[in-house]
Structure 1
Amino acid sequence: MKAIYIYKYLMISFIALLLVSCTSTEVDAKFDQNATERLSARQKELNDVLLSSAEGWKAVYYTDSTQLGGWTHLFKFLPEGKVDMASDFTLGTDTDTKTYRSQYEIQAGSTASLVFTTGNRIHLLSDANNYPTSALKAKGYLGDFQFFYYGQKNGDIIFRTNRNGHFLRFVKATAQDWTDLPKNTPVIDGLRGNAASPLFRIMETNDGVATHQFDFDYNPNARFGTATSLDLGSQEAYDVAFAFTPTGVVSKLPVVVKGQKLTNFLYDSTTANFVATGTNGVSATIKFRNEPTRLTEDYKLLMPQSGNNVYAYIYSITKAESANSALFLSLLASTEAAAGTGLFINRIQPWFNNADGTSYIEYRFSTVANPTVVAARVYHYFTIKTDATAKTVTLQPGVWKSTATAASPAIAAPAFMKALDDQFMNPSGLYFARTQVSGYTGYTLTSTTTPFRLVLYSFQ
């Protein structure tokens, strides 16, 4: 009987609570609009807040911080669906921070969303034809131009991206933000380097007692780097995902030194170093270096006893690799310009230890109109010299030919090829080393005396 009374009491209490809740003015207010009306109100709320900031909004957009850095975007929303936009996105070596106008809409779906409907800077991160690494070919920078509205917090607007569901925060911009955005450019250039910059980088940490060095592999297109310890037996490594400021770089992923998380690296234009400073002597410094941090035995692959080996710079495959140096790309461009109207170098293909005992570099030219058809070829023959101490290979120049036939006569050296070809025939030698690429086996040829480096596809 007691159980029955308890059950009745609980039922009466539940009904009473239900009646109270049904008469709540708060709930009545919540449901006095249908779903369409609530969504419409949500759209208006988003549009009103976008228009409310006199200097617009700022967002540092990390599309995927496991492999990409961040890009700063500024937005000033205007009546009639117009928006002015600027960013520090870098295409090639050009960082365009100018302001462009386009259109936006507040669209309805499962929730209200901000959609940039005509092309502007934000679309550069979603263009599948524009990708920073071979692993992201046909995927672009994994960016979005539609953002789902999730509300406001402490004056910021919270969105979630359509493509991968990441949160993105818009903070109120200031007039200074618009003035300062172009100041990111020299910092971007400082970390990337130029045609005269050393090709190798290290990161050096100081824990207040001892220093440790890391090989630092940085992709300026992806704004992402990996630091790998040079200490014997150490497995310590860090990834950094950089966004730029007028004074340096900020990594979303910290470098941890003696328990301190270092993320803000200030740029010293005098030394070209980037320095993150903690407390009690703790720091991390990114700096350029003239020599490789590690010498490999890969040069032995080019020796006669290794047999025939063929590698190639291929326009459609290797040109996009970030390890191609600025000097190589500039010499490539000037050589193509001098070659003739509409011609470009489709391949630079070193052949080592052919069956007839010869070795040569084959330069293939195609036309823009028919990029897959070979329009012309020239061959520069060489002999091979290696240095077991320096771990280098030297290509000693021989004759030029128009065919790869042993009996074919020599031709005069093409004058327009000299500046590019001299880098391969450097009497001080080249480093040859396996490199990290996606989708194929890759190697680099790097000058020992100049900042010249190119990525080669391996046919082996």
Structure 2
Amino acid sequence: MKKILYMLALGAVVGCQKSEPDLLFGKTASERMEDAKQELRQTLSAAPNGWKLTYFTVKGFFGGFTILMKFDPNGRVVMTSDIENTFEPRESSYQIQEGQGPLLVFTTKNYIHDLADSSSPRDLMPSGYLGEFQFVYFGKEGNKLKFRTQRKDTQQFVYFEPATADEWNSMETYHNVATAISGSYYAKVITSAGAENYYMTFNHRLLTFTSMDNRDKVFETGIVPIADGLALEPALKIEDKSFTKLTSVPGTSPASYTATVDGVTLELHSLGDPSLEFESQGDKISTDFNALIPFGQDIFKNSPYMSPDFFRDFYTIDEEREFVSYEMIFNSATQMTLRVGYLFPGEHEQSYLTYNCTYEVRDKKLYITYVEENPELDAFWTNPDNEEIATLARQRLHNFIALSSEGLYIWKTPTTVFVPIYYIKSIAQPNYYFPSLSF
């Protein structure tokens, strides 16, 4: 009887214990979660210069951005970043909530939300950069804080590392580095077998390298500016070597970058004047396109390939009027049409004054010779009221031909606007150079 009573009592005690919340080290799961949240809050707010997140939202699709964050224990955070072209510190709110662990949530808008905005940048709508602003905390790894993103299709671990005071003053520099590289740069790979040059395009901080000699030879990597150069993610594979960083070369402006891995050297250089570094490619006239069309709109006016002298002397008429375009149309191996376009008032399409010319390619440079004016003119050009414009158009076409007296240098740039852009420069008057669409 005593044994039966003892077993009943023991069962009652065990049953009572099972009905209580699970205990570990004397605390319930909810108490442990609260402790973890408080620990994360204290860790975030204790860093004297805050934390740095280098965020590659989707590796292989975009490059990386740097976000600096300084937390206080009362739910406020100050950020700056190199995402935009503004860098002033912005204050917003954060919370540490419960998720699969302590969940850091940036609850009001700040720089980090720019990477999660599906409507920005416009050319990435409706997805944007696919970034996030909620991160599950996984603990410390050395002096870094380990978090995991939430979206399943882009889930990854990201790390907050201690920021420095200098980094808070570097965001504009980082942004300007990325902006400069998005202009006219090229890459050079040097091995024991020699050097190979690559066109370089830059889109959303993703670098694409295409061999100038072999279009099928293409490499890609994302970049993020760092204090002494560029970090590459994923690692750039060239000649079976992995490049994870390029170091800026002291004294170069615009900056050059370089790295050497096991005897293979990768260099990035600003193009400056391509005619000083690359031979002309006038031979592409017979293989790559039927027409070269220089346009005068602002997008081309502000191109690094457009000389102010050319824009002024060939497009500008006065403060209100300008010619729209020039066109070099290659009709055969020796015959071409050269024409200038102008948009007459009230019209929706430009009208052309046209010269018939001959051309030849010598030493890969283009030479143009005037033959005659095409007699088939729109009535606009024969209207006496438009005599001033017609006279000026003829003068500019003759001047255009004169630029080719010692040849026009032609080089395919790494830039495209739906079609490839070619850089064209007068050898006789090197202050005249301009970009052209190729068709």
TM-score w.r.t. length of structure 2: 0.66
| Residues 102 and 434 of structure 1, relative CA distance in 2, 3 Å threshold | same
Task: Identify if the C-alpha distance between structure 1 residues 267 and 313 changes in structure 2 by more than 3 Å, giving closer, same or farther.
Answer: same
For this pair of structures, how many residues does the alignment match?
A: 394
> Which residue does 2:10 correspond to in 1?
none
Distance (whole Å) between structure 2 residues aligned to residue 179 and residue 77 of structure 1: 18
Q: Sort the Cα spacing of 1:286 and 1:117 in 2 relative to 1 into closer, same or farther, 3 A.
A: same
1:106 aligns with 2:95: yes
Residue 56 of structure 1, CA deviation:
0.9
The letter for the 2-side match of 1:408 is: T
Q: Distance in 2 between matches of 1:218 and 1:351?
A: 26
Q: Say if 1:188 and 1:294 are closer, same or farther in 2 by CA, change over 3 A.
A: same
The answer to whether the 8 Å contact 2:360/2:368 transfers is no
Q: What amino acid is aligned across from residue 106 of structure 2 in structure 1?
A: V
Question: By how many angstroms is 1:71 displaced?
Answer: 1.6
Unaligned runs of 5+ in 2: 1-13
In structure 1, what is the Cα distance between the partners aligned to 2:137 and 2:401? 56
Aligned partner of 2:66 in structure 1 is 72
Offset, 1:171: 1.1
- The aligned residue for residue 431 of structure 1 is 410
* 1:243 counterpart (213, 218, 224): 224
Task: Choose the corresponding residue for 1:218, options 176, 191, 201.
Answer: 201
Change in Cα spacing, 1:260 to 1:104, as seen in structure 2 (3 Å) is: same
Partner of residue 57, structure 1:
51
Instruction: Determine which structure has more spread, i.e. the larger CA radius of gyration.
Output: 2
CA distance 1:118–1:396, shift in 2 (3 Å): farther
For 1:388, the equivalent position in structure 2 comes to 361
Match of 1:227 in 2: 209
Query: 2-side partners of 1:63 and 1:411: how far apart?
Result: 57
When residues 79 and 365 of structure 1 are mapped into structure 2, their CA distance, relative to the original with a 3 A threshold, is farther
Cα distance 1:283–1:79, how it changes in 2: closer, same or farther (>3 A)? same
Q: Is the partner of 2:155 in helix, strand or coil?
A: coil
Q: Distance in 1 between matches of 2:288 and 2:226?
A: 44
Give, in angstroms, the shift of residue 394 of structure 1.
Answer: 6.1
Using the TM superposition, give the Cα deviation of residue 265 of structure 1 relative to its aligned residue in structure 2, in angstroms.
1.4
Question: Would you say the 8 A contact 2:247–2:259 is kept in 1?
Answer: yes
Equivalent residue in structure 2 for 1:326, among 304, 309, 318? 304
- Deviation at 1:363? 5.2
**Map of 2:166 onto structure 1:** 176
Report the CA distance shift for 1:32/1:86 in structure 2 as closer, same or farther (over 3 A): closer
Distance 1:457 1:386, change over 3 A: closer
Alpha-carbon distance in 2 for matches of 1:297, 1:374: 37
RMSD: 5.3
Measured in 1, the distance between the counterparts of 2:293 and 2:305 equals 20
- Report deviation, 1:160: 0.8
Cα shift at 1:187 = 4.4
CA-CA distance at 1:215 after TM superposition: 1.2
Q: 8 Å contact 1:383–1:395 — kept in the other structure?
A: no
In structure 1, the residue matched to 2:265 is 283
Measured in 2, the distance between the counterparts of 1:58 and 1:390 equals 53
What's the TM-score, normalizing by structure 1?
A: 0.63
Between 138-147 and 69-78, the greater mean CA deviation after superposition: 138-147
The question of whether the paired residues in 2 share the 8 Å contact of 1:55 and 1:172 is answered with yes
